[in-house]
Amino acid sequence: MMRVLDIQNAAIFCIACLSTLVCFYYNFSSLPSEQLVVPFEYMLVLIGIHSAIDIFVQKWDMIIHHTFVLGLCYFYYVYCRVMTPEHGMIIVYPYMKVEISSIFYTLRFWLPKKSPFYTVNSLLFYLTFLKFRVIDNFYDVIINSTFISIITSTTNNVFMISLLYISGCGLYLLNIYWFYLINKMIVQTSFNRSDKVIK
């Protein structure tokens, strides 16, 4: 019988793989932008449904994460008809791209811990998390003047602007917190191994 964690990991893995395919499609397709945005809109629906269901069986940090994700989905679907496809992509693409690291996150649960595959996967998880969730998200969302100007030109509704800013910045801060935990775990594991070697 499948446990809740297995179902969650399978759902995250599927969403991460689909998001990665959609990002590749966007980067390498020659189709016009109004057609490129369609797969992203379907992915947002899928991610929104997953977040709305998964929020009830999660720890505090993932509850916050899912709440912010739902805030982003709500903003996009309220104002997607007002935005041009290009502007819609500037808002959606950075959040879809971060899911690439989730592929390696979920694989950690299925690979044998003492195998070289687990080690390689852990390294890929670390590098993709740093690249897409910390560095790229900072440049694509937090300090991106185009991102900010699109939001303010789309609506003058203070609540909706605040919702998007709080959701976007909240997700980034949560990623920073998780990155801190990842590094803390790496340091602790390294010290434990060093102690065993010394003894």
Q: Where in the chain are the domains?
A: 4-198
Higher confidence at residue 120 or residue 79?
Answer: 120
pLDDT digits 0-9 by tens, 81-128:
778 888 888 888 999 999 999 999 999 999 998 899 999 999 999 999
Q: If you compute the radius of gyration of the chain from its CA atoms, what whole number of angstroms results?
A: 18
Lowest pLDDT segment from 23-32, 64-73, 127-136, 164-173:
23-32
> Per-residue DSSP letters for 17-30?
HHHHHHHHHHHH--
Closest residue by Cα to residue 176 from 121, 129, 143: 129
Lowest mean pLDDT across 3-12, 18-27, 177-186: 3-12
- Report how far residue 73's alpha carbon sits from residue 167's, in angstroms, rounded to the nearest whole number: 10
Question: Per-residue pLDDT for 135 more than 80?
Answer: yes
Name residue, tokens 């010394």. Answer: 198
Q: Give the 3-state secondary structure percentages of the chain, helix then strand then coil, rounded to 5.
A: 85, 0, 15
In terms of pLDDT, which residue wins out, 65 or 82?
65
Residue 126: exposed, middle, or buried by beta-carbon count in 10 A (0-12, 13-18, 19+)? middle
pLDDT in the model for residue 1: 44
How far, in Å, CA of 108 to CA of 21, rounded? 21
- The reported pLDDT for the residue numbered 196 is 56
> Are the CB atoms for 96 and 43 separated by under 8 Å?
yes
Tokens 């390689």, residue?
A: 120
- For position 16, what pLDDT does the model report? 96
pLDDT level of residue 183 (50, 70, 90 thresholds): very high
